[in-house]
A and B are shown apart, each in its own frame.
Chain A
Amino acid sequence: MMLLIEQALNGLQYGMMLFLMAAGLTLVFGVMGLINLAHGALYMVGAFACAAVAGATGSFWLGLAASLAAAAAAGAVVELLVIRRLYARDHLDQVLATFALILVFSEGTRWLFGSFPLYLTLPPLLSGAVTLPGGLQYPLFRLALIGLGAAIAFGLYLLITRTRLGTRIRAGEADREMVAALGVDIARLYTAVFALGAALAGLAGALVGTIQSVQVGMGEPVLILAFVVIVIGGIGSVKGALVGALLVGMTDTLGKAFLPGVLARLIDPSAANTIGSAIASVLIYVLMAGVLIVRPQGLYGERGMA
């Protein structure tokens, strides 16, 4: 039971980090109609900025601020130089150009920082474990990530529904020509949305890098998971991204923790371990396939988008 709660919290924390990635991707797709493979590179930029600044100044918090700033800046620069030429192109050009950006970012980072992983130390304020009701010891930092993820989800909800920028974002999703005709500077709006998505990805990179390690190529597996999240949740929907991220985080974590054990009650334990972990590693893709069969446009996607 304890183990179940602990794994559920792990799944929740994983899901929150996936949400930070997926929210940016889905906003960029919803507003600009752009598929951005380089989103994982921005995640990596955030992690490296945090590691470099935290290493130089000794302050994790400065590092975290640097991750937001560096990823947003990298996002804005890339949008101005490359991405904005791609809005009118088809998806094929977008895929290839952003794939090329990944190569540039990865090799550039390897050139600057080398191939060895960097490690971040937790700030004293958030290190250690807390005892939850029921006696479960759980790392405080992971708990903070869950809280932060929930806060950002709520903040994004307020931003999109209550602010002027949010109104423009929603208007841009609905009809970009009309928004431009009404006098909104579409080019600036696009840069802002792209930088916002990049900052969220960079923050996720710094936070996950603190739990795991900071290395070149760290963004790519997360990027593909974020795609799975978006396909499940529905492209362009931030709510869908949240629900999809939590579903994927939970399914993956709980599947890996419990599937081999459950199978071992049914079949030979050593075979159960092999088969169980193999199935657990593909469980989220099975989930995605299931959603595609029932609702090809995703849980919160609009008909006609798919």
Chain B
Amino acid sequence: MTREAALNAALFVALIGTALVAQALGEGFIITLATKAAIFALAGVGLNLVLGYGGLVSFGHAAFFGLGGYATGILASHAMSGVPVATLPFTLNGSTEMLAIWPLAIAASGLAALAIGALSLRTSGVYFIMVTLAFAQMIYYLAISWPAYGGEDGLSFYVRNTFPGLNTFDPIQFFAICAGLLAAALGLVAVLTRSRFGLALRAARQNESRVVAVGIRPYSIRLLAFMLSGMIVGLAGSLYADLNRFVSPAMLSWHMSGEIMVFVILGGVGRLFGPVAGALAYIALEHLLGGVSDYWQALLGLLLLAIVIYAPGGLIGLIAGRRHV
């Protein structure tokens, strides 16, 4: 077992362990924090697929996070009011079943990622950053100006959606769902990045013209990665909506995009467990620094600056050493 693999295992054990110890001590708030960390880590795992492995700096992933959240909120609120979400071309009723909501949340964010990706991937470099940011901002303004689902005030749905066999209101059981999905996503990304598709994606980051020379179109590979990434982030958004039982345009805002990016970079770009380390550290910092000062984000900013300038490999890079790619 390499040092990084050991560290990865320790990180996952730390996440699960925190929740279990908190459960034993009856600290419901800590379980909620661990749940939040698991959800943020899931979002980070999604972004890492394009950011780390694909080398595509998307600054617009809040769009998919928010769309996953809104899909969840809209379905749950329609289930409560009994009015179908849509009647054309087929009747789509609301739902409070997570197993019914997730596919729709994933589909909604995946479709948005396909459309945004198809346009944004025509550009590269700094254009790509600005264009993804701008498209996410477009969805943000749509959500604000569309009054049907709360507009600027957001949308509450009071009752957490259900999962067969589990009581989702019990914090530790909801945590188990989130941690399970995080593990599944980590497994998926591990398999993907080792597959032919993952190799092509990483190769396109390192040397685009060689990839073209062996007969692979980088555009298609990247678009597929962008869509998969959007779908994972959308699932995270759905869970986040369920955690808070509330969705608002803040989930779509560019600060959210920046935060998801921070989870990835704080932990270590292009490392499987980087987002897990980053999300855990972020939640811990928010909790600890938030107690020190109301202006904790300024401290966070200074810390991020230090990481970028002095430790470009992120936290995992600091501990496990530079990686040989």
* B-binding residues in A (CB < 8 A): 29, 33, 35, 82, 85-86, 89, 91-93, 95-97, 99-104, 106-108, 110-111, 220, 224, 227-228, 230-231, 235, 274, 277-278, 281-282, 285-286, 288-289, 292-293, 296-298, 305-306
Would A103 and B301 be within 8 Å (CB), given that A274-B146, A296-B123, A306-B127 are in contact? yes
Are A278 and B145 in contact (CB-based, < 8 A)? Answer: yes
Are A107 and B265 in contact (CB-based, < 8 A)? Answer: no
Interface-located stretch among B132-140, B154-162, B206-214: B132-140
Contacts A231-B123, A285-B138, A305-B127 aside, 4 further interface pairs with beta carbons under 8 A come to A33-B126, A106-B298, A224-B254, A235-B126
Are B119 and A292 in contact (CB-based, < 8 A)? Answer: yes
Are A91 and B133 in contact (CB-based, < 8 A)? Answer: no
Q: Which residues of A contact B57 (CB under 8 A)?
A: 91-92, 95
Would A103 and B297 be within 8 Å (CB), given that A274-B147, A289-B119 are in contact? yes
Within 8 A of A (CB), among B115-155: 119-120, 122-127, 129-131, 133-135, 137-138, 141-142, 144-147
Report Cα–Cα, A285/B120, bound state, in Å.
Answer: 12
Are A95 and B142 in contact (CB-based, < 8 A)? Answer: no
Report Cα–Cα, A281/B312, bound state, in Å.
Answer: 38
Report Cα–Cα, A69/B146, bound state, in Å.
Answer: 41
Shortest C-beta distance, A221 to chain B (Å), equals 8
Are A230 and B130 in contact (CB-based, < 8 A)? Answer: yes
Q: Which residues of A contact B254 (CB under 8 A)?
A: 220, 224
Q: List 23 A-B contacts (CB under 8 A).
A: A35-B129, A86-B308, A89-B308, A89-B312, A91-B129, A93-B308, A96-B262, A99-B262, A103-B298, A103-B300, A107-B298, A224-B254, A228-B130, A274-B147, A278-B145, A281-B141, A281-B142, A285-B134, A288-B131, A289-B119, A292-B120, A292-B123, A293-B119
Contact of A306 among B123, B302, B303, B304 (CB under 8 A): B123
Are A101 and B298 in contact (CB-based, < 8 A)? Answer: no
Are B308 and A96 in contact (CB-based, < 8 A)? Answer: yes
Shortest C-beta distance, B67 to chain A (Å), equals 15
Q: Which residues of A contact B134 (CB under 8 A)?
A: 224, 227-228, 231, 285, 288
Q: Which residues of B contact A100 (CB under 8 A)?
A: 300-305, 308
* A-binding residues in B (CB < 8 A): 51, 57, 59, 119-120, 122-127, 129-131, 133-135, 137-138, 141-142, 144-147, 254, 258, 261-262, 265, 269, 295-298, 300-305, 308-309, 312
Q: Which residues of B contact A278 (CB under 8 A)?
A: 142, 145-146
Shortest C-beta distance, A11 to chain B (Å), equals 18
Report Cα–Cα, A278/B143, bound state, in Å.
Answer: 9
Report Cα–Cα, A289/B144, bound state, in Å.
Answer: 20
Are A296 and B122 in contact (CB-based, < 8 A)? Answer: yes
Q: Which residues of B contact A296 (CB under 8 A)?
A: 122-123, 127
Q: Which residues of A contact B124 (CB under 8 A)?
A: 306
Q: Which residues of B contact A89 (CB under 8 A)?
A: 308, 312
